[in-house]
Structures are given as structure tokens and as C-alpha cells.
């Protein structure tokens, strides 16, 4: 979706991936196949382009630093990625900027885990410091008896871990912020993210919470992106507690699923604004084009081929915008596409998007 | 732009062009390089895909017929292209369907031209039967003394020609119609097309004419696409006379410049609806997403490189959607991109789009 926005603005793209068959290959001229953690490979990419940017936070910040040292532009910068890709360092950066985060502790041994869990009080959330997403690298320990299960589930000390106090939230909110090279920002509407098993199922814009909360969420999101000196589009996920407190859950240093609705829903999408930001161009407007916009993810329900069934029925739903990512295979919870709908009310928009999304399924033996 | 719409819906594309460096190459996985008038080459393309479609009307209908005979699906069909790509045959098809067209005559010799011009009365418009666009293959003969100039300008009898009575129009209107495999249709709003030197400069949706005229224009456009049994998105250009008569100027059997505004301006674009139509999927809604939408073409002003200058200033105009086609070279009147804007009134939308378009220019020494 970044590639799509970039080519519309006349840019040529080179995509680096480990696999020649990446979805973006359908949207660009050329794919470099190679290991993105290898500084030599990254420099080879950088030599061919004006700016290197990222669509995930898994590329090693040290390798990105080597690209910068060789004189190439990388946005978000290696320093931003270093602050964001390690969840322990990210939490430290956000906390030291005075932003609200749940209490957390580093965990390097089982003993430390036991001590930290007791200190924070159950439930606690154990996380891998790096490479987690969609609930992967994440274990909620509800009672002391689950400590060993969590410890083993996350590798039994093979990966760096952190532990966080569980935030008893009533809603999950998210805000996309695009920040330009000169520190200028574009802030998107605050959305509600509806999650199941730590995977985003749907997003509703705007979130149906008080104006005061919306304002506070936007300020916190802006603060979080500034705290890591981010350049480009960033997703900031937050918890809203019953008391009305907002806590940052996670900062993603990239375009984010909670902002996919902006393609049809906003004047300028998170993807186009990302391209504008990393190329030093003026940022576009973020206003909603309807009273409400809803996005529903198309998630795989089992392993199997990635091609969709039921597309025709989905396209028959008036006002549903269907996006398919062209991934080769489906798997449980894998994000294979999404549907966006605009509406007069959040319920209307969600109903339209859900109706189309429910018509689509993946894999041969499903249903 | 078709490729973009198709990949969003999860389609894989193969593009056939004479040149490996086509703009669509930036938006697809693979390009076949070859002559599109060669039936063998077309069959080679057809073997790799489920459906062959066209983005211009220049591919020879006989060659397309050979692809159909080999058992492949081509939409629009070879028969439709045969009725549309030759302007003489097109006019005959429209006239025999009872649709309003200016009087016309075939021209095969200078003598016949003289006689036909006298019969129709000056001014008359001399046209090549095939391969004309943007005023190319088009000569307005205002008085008898210009007959030789026109005759020579259009090849002196080397190409098939036709002559048409000049329609003294007050506005040029256009309508995009998408027609599906089962004859179902989606009709877009009637737009006004603002032309200079036979090249579209801007499009305003909806056209500011009486409701009765809008209704008639839609009916005529529907009739024109049905008359050639079209499948896919078609552009129908019309003249509106002072008396309120509507005459069809030309039918384009493809997505059309007068419908580029539909990307941001309508619920479902002419490009997505084209893809839906040729794949036998349900058609999308065509309603305007704002009171008014304007599209301004980015035209080359001289020969030179195709990369734009002034893009940053254009992107600073709030609400302007900039599209650049990535063509390698600029030339006088060449369409290199467009800008779309939504607005509360046609004047507002046009002002926004023009402001951004005016900021962009092509070539090194221009200005």
C-alpha cells in the first residue's frame, strides 16, 4: 500500500525482501531478494534509491545505522528504529518523555520473572523485547501457577523479555501520526480498535469517546512519535481505562493496520503521507471524508491457499471497499486483506464492512 | 490505473506492450514485450491470463478475433472493438441504433472530400478512421480554401478518412458507462469536459446543465455502449448545442480521461468497475462523494524529460490529489498526470485542482 501511494506520485520503487514473491512485487517494478538484516545488502538497496524506508520494525537498527554511515538517507532513522523495535527500550523512551505507560520491568531470568510478577501483581503480560506482532511474542500470566508456562512459551530465556502490569482497559484506541523531516505533523482521527486474541478485527473511526479523551489521545500519540524522533507514519496503540486514563500500549514505527481505513476514509492516506514525509514533501490533510469509517480485517481461519472465495458476494455489498493482499497462503489469524466502508454512523459503516468481509473466506475446506 | 485497481482486488497482471518501460510496469509484476497487433503475441498473452482486456482502442480487432477463436476471453470483445475503433463504422453503428450523431460521409478521394464538404456545409471536420486521439488525426476545414491543407494534413488519401458536419456546441459533456457481461450497467455522473486544441484540459462533475439534459445525456451514453455491445468501462463524449440538442462526438471503448476524477470522486472508480465488469463481478456504485469534483490534466508544454518540477508546491495545496504517470518524456500536449479535487461547488473544486496543477511543470527549460 506504500508502493501504491508512491507510484501514484511518480516514484520508482525497489523492494528488498527475503522472498521474490512479496505482495508488493505486484505493485512495483523491481524486487531485490536478500536478507534485510545484512548491512551489505541494505547498502546495495540504498545505492539504487534516494531514500530507504521500512514497512516493518524488524529490520535491525544496527544494520540501518551502517546504511546511514555509508551516506544514505533512511527514514525512519536508525536511531528511531533502535528506540522502537525493542519494546523494553521503547517503554523506557516513552516513560522518560513523561508519557503514560504501564509499569514494566526487564526480565532476564526465571527468578527475575517471579520477583517482577509479584511486585507488579497479577495478571502481568510477558513479552519478547523484539519481533512480536499480532499476539506472537506475548503471554498473559493470570496467576502465579502460569509463570512457568509463560516462561517456556516465550522461549525460556532464549530471547530478551520484559514484563508489564496488565492494564484493565475498557477500550483500545489508536492514532496514526505522520511526522515530517522538519518535525511537522499530521494527526489522524482517534479510532477504536476491536481486538480478539491480540489480533485487530476491526477499526472504527472516530472512536465513540468524549471529546476530551480524543484530544488527550491525540496529544499522547504526538508525544510518543516525537519521543522517538519519528519520521514517517507511525501507529500508536493505547488503552483507555474505566477511569478515563490513557496508557500507551505500543508504538509501531511504520504504517499501521489501525490506519488502513485512511485510504478511502481520509483526504490523504497514512500511506501517501508516509511517502510525503520520507521524501520531505508537505503533508496532506487527515480529515475524515464521512461521519464514520469502519475497517474490518480479512483474517485467515486455517492453513491453505491464500486466494479468496466469495469475492463476488463481497463486491455486491454497496459501499464496501475490498482490499486483498495477494498473499500466497492463508493461516490462522493471518491478515490477508481488509474491507473499508464509509457511513453516516459508526454502526452503519461497520455493518457494511462486516457484511462484505463475512462473505469472503480463504482456504479450500473452510465452511 | 486499471492495474492498480486490479491488484487491490488481488488480481495478478501481465501487461503486453511494445516497450518494456510502460508506466503500468510500475504497477504490475510482469511485462510481455511484443507487438499487440500480432495475433500470435496476443495469444501468448491470453494463455497466461483468465481475461484479456484493453486500455486503448488501437489493438486490431481482427487480431483480437483470433484470440477469441483460440478459446480465450477478451473484454471488450473483438466485435465491440471492431465497431468502435473505426470512426466511420462507429458512427454508422450509433446512427443505426437511432442515436444522435452529426452527419458524416466516408472519404476515399479528394474529389469525394470536395463533394461531401459542399454537401454538409462548412465548417466540416475531416478525421482519420483509425488511431486518432487528442486532436491527432483530426482537421477542421473552415472554408473551401482549406480543403487541400486538410487533405494533405491527414495523409492525402493514405489513410481511410471520414468527414463530419461541424457541431456548433456550447459545451462538451461526457459520461462513463460500465457495462457488465450480463448487460448490467453502472452510469457515472455527466461531466463537462473543457477542451483546448482538441485536448481535454479539465473535467467538472457534475456538469452545470439542466436536470433534463443530464438525464438525456445518461440515456444516450447508455444507448451508445449498448449499441456496440460493450463490456467494461467506456467513455462517451457528447456535444451540447445552444438549442439543447445532444450529439455523440465519440465513443471510446476503454476507460477514459473524462473519468479519471472517479478515483477519488466516486464510490467506485471507472478503473475498478472496469475490472469488475471484465471479470464478471458485480459492479460498484457510481455516486459522487462530494457536491462537486474537478480534474485538471497535467500536460507537457514542450519536449524534454518526463519528471515533474514543482511537485512539492502542488502537494502543499490542501485537498489536491496528484497523480503522475511516470512517463519517461514530456511533449507538447502529452498527458503526464492529473490532479483531482473535491469541493462544495464546481468552482471551488476546480480552483483547488488548478492551483496544484499550475504548480507542476515538466522539462528542463520550461518557465
Does B281 contact A10 at a Cβ distance shorter than 8 Å? no
Q: What is the pLDDT of residues A58-108, one digit of tens each?
A: 999 999 999 999 999 999 999 999 999 999 999 999 999 999 999 999 999
Q: Helices B78-85 & B87-96, crossing angle to 10 degrees? A: 100
Q: For residue B315, give the nearest of A282, A316, A337 by CB distance.
A: A282
Does B337 contact A27 at a Cβ distance shorter than 8 Å? no
Does A10 contact B307 at a Cβ distance shorter than 8 Å? yes
In this structure, the strands spanning A169-179 and A185-187 are: antiparallel
Give the pLDDT band of residue A198 (cuts 50, 70, 90).
confident
Determine the 3-state secondary structure of B300 from DSSP: coil
Does B7 contact A29 at a Cβ distance shorter than 8 Å? no
Q: What is the pLDDT of residues A120-149, one digit of tens each?
A: 999 999 999 998 877 788 999 999 999 999
Element spanning B180, H or E: none
Element spanning B208, H or E: none
Ordered structural domains, chain A, with CATH: 2-85 (3.40.50.20), 103-165 (3.30.1490.20), 169-362 (3.30.470.20)
Residues in chain A closer than 8 A to B323 (CB atoms): 8-9
Give the pLDDT band of residue B157 (cuts 50, 70, 90).
confident
pLDDT of residue B24: 61
Does B315 contact A12 at a Cβ distance shorter than 8 Å? no
Does B10 contact A307 at a Cβ distance shorter than 8 Å? yes
Q: Is A182 an 8 Å CB contact of chain B? A: no
Determine the 3-state secondary structure of B85 from DSSP: helix
Q: Nearest CA to A15 among A38, A41, A58?
A: A41
- Residue B365: pLDDT over 70: no
A289 CA: distance to closest CA in chain B (Å): 8
- Residue A330: pLDDT over 80: yes
Does B12 contact A4 at a Cβ distance shorter than 8 Å? no
Residue with the larger pLDDT of the pair B363 and A300: A300
Q: Is A328 an 8 Å CB contact of chain B? A: no
pLDDT of residue B25: 56
**Secondary structure in 3-state letters for chain A:** CHHHHHHHECCCCEEEECCCCCHHHHHCCEEEECCCCCHHHHHHHHHCCCEECCCCCCCCHHHHHHHHHCCCEECCCHHHHHHHHCHHHHHHHHHHCCCCECCEEEECCHHHHHHHHHHHCCCEEEEECCCCECCECEEEECCHHHHHHHHHHCCCCCCCEEEEECCCEEEEEEEEEEECCCCCEEECCCEEEEEECCEEEEEEECCCCCHHHHHHHHHHHHHHHHHCCCCEEEEEEEEEECCCCEEEEEEECCCCHHHCCHHHHECCCHHHHHHHHHCCCCCCCCCECCCEEEEEEEECCCCEECCEECHHHHHCCCCEEEEECCCCEECCCCEEEEEEEEECCHHHHHHHHHHHHHHCEECCCCC
- Residue B293: pLDDT over 90: yes
pLDDT of residue A364: 64
Residue B309: DSSP 8-state: E
Residues in chain B closer than 8 A to A305 (CB atoms): none
Q: Is B152 an 8 Å CB contact of chain A? A: no
Q: What is the pLDDT of residues B17-75, one digit of tens each?
A: 888 777 665 556 678 999 998 999 999 999 999 999 999 999 999 999 999 999 999 99
Instruction: Please state, in angstroms and as integers, the Cα–Cα distance from residue B350 to each residue in B173, B194, B205, following that order.
Output: 16, 11, 10
ipTM metric: 0.92
Q: Is B311 an 8 Å CB contact of chain A? A: yes
Does A29 contact B25 at a Cβ distance shorter than 8 Å? yes
Q: Is B166 an 8 Å CB contact of chain A? A: no
pLDDT of residue A363: 73
B87 phi-psi bin (left φ>0, alpha ψ -120 to 50, beta other): alpha
Size of interface A-B (CB pairs under 8 A): 86
Provide DSSP, B108-121.
Answer: -SHHHHHHHHHHH-
Is residue A322 within 8 A of residue A337, CB to CB? The reply is: yes
Residues in chain A closer than 8 A to B324 (CB atoms): 8-10
- Residue B219: pLDDT over 50: yes
Which residue in A has a C-alpha nearest to residue B282's C-alpha?
A: A316
Residues in chain A closer than 8 A to B29 (CB atoms): 25-26
What pTM value is reported for the model?
0.94
Is residue A155 within 8 A of residue A128, CB to CB? The reply is: yes
Cross-strand pairs, B248: B101, B238
Which residue in A has a C-alpha nearest to residue B5's C-alpha?
A: A323
Q: Is A282 an 8 Å CB contact of chain B? A: yes
pLDDT of residue A367: 45
Q: Is B180 an 8 Å CB contact of chain A? A: no
- Report d(CA A66, CA B299) in Å as an integer: 42
Which residue in A has a C-alpha nearest to residue B7's C-alpha?
A: A26
Amino acid at each position: 500500500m506504500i508502493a501504491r501511494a508512491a507510484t501514484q506520485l511518480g516514484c520508482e520503487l525497489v523492494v528488498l525482501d527475503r522472498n521474490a514473491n512479496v505482495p508488493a512485487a505486484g505493485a512495483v517494478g523491481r524486487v531485490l531478494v536478500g536478507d534485510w538484516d545484512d548491512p551489505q545488502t541494505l547498502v546495495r538497496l540504498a545505492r539504487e534509491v534516494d531514500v530507504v524506508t521500512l514497512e516493518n520494525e524488524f529490520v535491525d537498527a544496527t544494520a540501518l545505522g551502517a546504511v546511514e554511515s555509508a551516506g544514505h538517507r533512511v527514514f525512519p532513522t536508525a536511531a528511531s528504529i533502535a528506540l522502537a523495535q525493542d519494546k523494553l527500550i521503547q517503554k523506557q523512551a516513552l516513560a522518560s518523555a513523561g508519557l503514560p505507560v504501564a509499569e514494566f520491568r526487564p526480565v532476564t531470568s526465571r527468578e527475575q520473572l517471579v520477583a517482577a510478577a509479584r511486585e507488579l501483581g497479577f495478571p502481568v503480560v510477558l513479552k519478547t523485547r523484539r519481533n512480536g506482532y499480532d499476539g506472537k511474542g506475548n503471554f498473559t500470566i493470570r496467576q502465579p501457577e502460569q509463570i512457568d508456562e509463560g516462561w517456556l512459551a516465550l522461549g525460556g530465556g532464549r530471547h530478551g523479555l520484559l514484563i508489564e502490569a496488565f492494564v484493565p482497559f475498557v477500550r483500545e484506541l489508536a492514532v496514526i501520526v505522520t511526522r515530517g523531516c522538519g518535525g511537522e505533523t499530521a494527526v489522524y482521527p482517534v479510532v477504536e480498535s476491536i481486538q480478539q486474541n491480540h489480533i485487530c478485527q476491526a477499526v472504527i473511526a472516530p472512536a465513540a469517546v468524549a471529546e476530551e479523551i480524543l484530544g488527550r489521545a491525540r496529544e499522547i500519540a504526538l508525544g510518543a512519535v516525537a519521543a522517538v524522533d519519528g519520521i514517517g507514519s507511525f501507529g500508536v496503540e493505547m488503552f483507555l481505562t474505566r477511569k478515563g486514563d490513557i496508557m500507551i500500549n505500543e508504538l509501531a514505527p511504520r504504517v499501521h493496520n489501525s490506519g488502513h481505513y485512511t485510504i478511502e476514509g481520509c483526504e490523504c492516506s497514512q500511506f501517501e503521507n508516509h511517502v510525503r514525509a520520507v521524501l520531505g514533501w508537505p503533508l496532506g490533510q487527515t480529515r475524515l471524508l464521512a461521519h464514520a469509517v469502519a475497517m474490518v480485517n480479512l483474517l485467515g481461519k486455517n492453513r491453505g491457499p491464500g486466494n479468496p472465495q466469495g469475492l463476488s458476494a463481497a463486491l455486491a455489498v454497496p459501499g464496501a471497499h475490498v482490499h486483498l493482499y495477494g498473499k500466497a497462503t492463508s493461516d490462522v489469524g493471518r491478515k490477508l486483506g481488509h474491507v473499508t466502508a464509509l457511513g453516516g454512523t459508526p454502526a452503519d459503516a461497520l455493518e457494511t464492512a462486516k457484511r462484505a468481509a463475512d462473505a469472503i473466506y480463504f482456504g479450500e475446506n473452510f465452511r
